[in-house]
Structure 1
């Protein structure tokens, strides 16, 4: 909540500064044939709809505006954007968190002669911080950002500060489920899985619920050795625990389905400067998980190796990115994903494409976003560098046959950033405080 209040204050300051000095707007030329409409979905009556570029947060009313968000760019074709991009006569600068984005340069420039694509491979923090500095100094270089938002920071803060603005191409969005368009326009989704040893458990995964991960033997010892990255430093993992708190009823039902009895609440809410909800199954799970014995390893390959080296008599589970399943074929590891856990396996971590507000190549930026997400028919070739194991395209007309399980068979769900954003700092504090109490 503190972060949301800060975002509101920053948004107010930005409004005043823009009113004083004016602002550069990324709107097509007046003679464009594109329809001039601003229709953010689920945003209330049309009279209350914000101006273009206020997606994410409506400064006038203090309300959130969700996607898909239709504006004057949404119905432009590749050909129309190409003509506008050539007229801009500027390089199209991409700040990306994936080195695979570098592989899109040649194909894009070959398909669209005369356009110059420049890709910068950066860390996720760099992508956002550089864009923020450029915005604050009015020295904007980036046109497109590629990054993920797992706890709502990008949606609630970067839109409200006027650093980025949305682009939802209507024809491509028709191939994407609306729940995956609420907070951004997605490139692909990834997730982390719990891995188990297939030799130790030849009949299949030994767990079907998150509660079984921290299960104990009759003598009180921990049933599984647990390996993971340092969860307190992993925003995506903490967001997942936050989602269990916001979906507490599902967590409680999952416990009852496994053990046949109602969940007993044992956590102590004392010691925090904020109010901890009472009898919340997600909070109870967070408390019990923090008290489990676990080994933190920073390298994903070493995490799955620990599971490969485990035995039936000393079983282990690890939480690692989906792509580490490649060690099964490349290194002969006895590993597999645990799928369809209750109440859900994971949250989809969505890599998304954002247009930088006030950029020099607004048409070129949108043309590239269309290209890298497959174009009008999914066949542009722009998505090809991202078809690796552990990445799932969200378009229903684009496949990635490198994945052993389809997206709809994983048991994962879309990330509800709205619910997670407000409690994320509290979850982080609870994890740290309770983990320090672990014996």
Structure 2
């Protein structure tokens, strides 16, 4: 197998070998001749992952926690300056990657040939290493089960001012979710309405998704710039009237760490939550292309992705299952998540401002 510098080959980097001829030992040997690498990721777990990778293969990698927004800015500036610092980007902003980073060859996607069959086709171009879930949660100390069974109940007077979520004006993944629902989820949202109220949805909005979002925004939800406040509003013990909230599945660790009482609304119609993808991409200008590829290979294995699985991140590899002690229990309900579809990711990017304006127009405080 020939191992060479990455070349700008467009959205999907051509494999350097077939599954039969791919030689992992040769890749490791080539990686050891290259300079150390840095991996950007939005979770602090990347520090431990890079250290474990370094120890396993006898080379040097550094993990650096960088938010998705900051990654975009840094990667673009580094490429423009010809001074790549981040060799690998684990990036949760798929629409931005599709719109800004992949077409301009700032980053490239490479799928290890020996692992390609384990990755569903929808996650190969560009490569997604995991899906991250935001889920509806309730307080198990107050309620024996989730007090709502249908997302339309969150728009009713009983829950006015008692639903908590991230402010969609501060996080692009939320407006991406809005657009994904309008593009791929209208039938299920309309069916959920009919199930709850016994009549078809009638609306002047452009879609069932827009009708639900307008009603939710008008119901005075509590909005936050991060999950910590939401986790507390829902899960803190001793509350007489706790919120229902939408948080990252990773916040279930607060049950052990902070004594919270978060429970998963696993029976919610039509979905208990939604996912967005984390891409694993390589900087085109890296001086360590083989080490970068080796890290991508590593993070697609159970050993490599385990630290993030413990936070409820769901590996895209069909060969890997979430550990039994993952705190949220999400693995038993994966079919109840509204899955991100990257095929319309560019449309998500182009409509972000439209959905922010829509939310702001309908939001009642």
TM-score, normalization: structure 1?
Answer: 0.72
Alpha-carbon distance change, 106 to 301 in structure 1, aligned in 2, over 3 angstroms: closer
Alpha-carbon distance change, 319 to 225 in structure 1, aligned in 2, over 3 angstroms: same
Does the CA contact (< 8 Å) of 1:224 and 1:315 recur in 2?
no
Give the Å deviation of 1:263: 0.9
Q: Who is 1:409 aligned against? A: 333
1:138 equivalenced with 2:82 (yes/no): yes
Give the Å deviation of 1:52: 6.2
Give the Å deviation of 1:406: 4.3
Q: Who is 1:169 aligned against? A: 112
Higher relative contact order (CA 8 A, sep 6+): 2
Q: Which whole-Å CA distance do the structure 1 matches of 2:150 and 2:161 have between them?
A: 14
Give the Å deviation of 1:147: 1.5
Alignment deviations for residues 18-61 of structure 1 (CA, whole Å, 9 cap, x no partner): xxxxxxxxx8349xxxxxxxxxxxxxxxxxxxx962116xxxxx
Q: Which structure 2 segments of 5+ residues have no match?
A: none
Q: Which whole-Å CA distance do the structure 1 matches of 2:4 and 2:125 have between them?
A: 28
For residue 122 of structure 2, the aligned residue among 170, 176, 179 is 179
Alpha-carbon distance change, 71 to 52 in structure 1, aligned in 2, over 3 angstroms: farther
Alpha-carbon distance change, 324 to 94 in structure 1, aligned in 2, over 3 angstroms: closer
1:85 equivalenced with 2:53 (yes/no): no
Q: Which whole-Å CA distance do the structure 1 matches of 2:308 and 2:241 have between them?
A: 37
Count how many residue pairs are aligned between Structure 1 and Structure 2: 354
1:365 equivalenced with 2:309 (yes/no): no
Q: Which whole-Å CA distance do the structure 2 matches of 1:128 and 1:312 have between them?
A: 40
Alignment deviations for residues 105-159 of structure 1 (CA, whole Å, 9 cap, x no partner): 433233323x322333322222222211121122223321112125x11122211
The SS at the match of 1:347 is strand
Alpha-carbon distance change, 307 to 382 in structure 1, aligned in 2, over 3 angstroms: closer
Q: Who is 2:256 aligned against? A: 329
Q: For the pair shown, which has the larger CA radius of gyration, 1 or 2?
A: 1
Give the Å deviation of 1:163: 0.3
1:432 equivalenced with 2:360 (yes/no): yes
1:104 equivalenced with 2:49 (yes/no): yes
Does the CA contact (< 8 Å) of 1:325 and 1:337 recur in 2?
no
Q: Which whole-Å CA distance do the structure 2 matches of 1:340 and 1:171 have between them?
A: 38
Runs ≥4 residues deviating over 6 A: 310-313
Give the Å deviation of 1:369: 1.2
Alignment deviations for residues 56-77 of structure 1 (CA, whole Å, 9 cap, x no partner): 6xxxxxxxxxxxx752256433
Q: Who is 1:28 aligned against? A: 3
Does the CA contact (< 8 Å) of 2:39 and 2:88 recur in 1?
yes
Alignment deviations for residues 340-390 of structure 1 (CA, whole Å, 9 cap, x no partner): 43333333222221011132111111011112322xxx4xx3333323232
Alignment deviations for residues 298-351 of structure 1 (CA, whole Å, 9 cap, x no partner): 453432332246999845311222122223334333330112433333332222
Does the CA contact (< 8 Å) of 2:118 and 2:319 recur in 1?
yes
Alpha-carbon distance change, 332 to 91 in structure 1, aligned in 2, over 3 angstroms: closer
Q: Who is 1:39 aligned against? A: none
Q: Who is 1:264 aligned against? A: 202
Cα RMSD (Å): 2.8
Q: Which whole-Å CA distance do the structure 2 matches of 1:190 and 1:132 have between them?
A: 24
For residue 128 of structure 1, the aligned residue among 54, 72, 79 is 72
Alpha-carbon distance change, 343 to 117 in structure 1, aligned in 2, over 3 angstroms: same
Q: Which structure 1 segments of 5+ residues have no match?
A: 1-26, 31-50, 57-68, 268-276
Give the Å deviation of 1:99: 1.9
Give the Å deviation of 1:214: 1.2
Does the CA contact (< 8 Å) of 2:274 and 2:340 recur in 1?
yes
The SS at the match of 1:199 is coil
Greater helix fraction, Structure 1 or Structure 2: 2
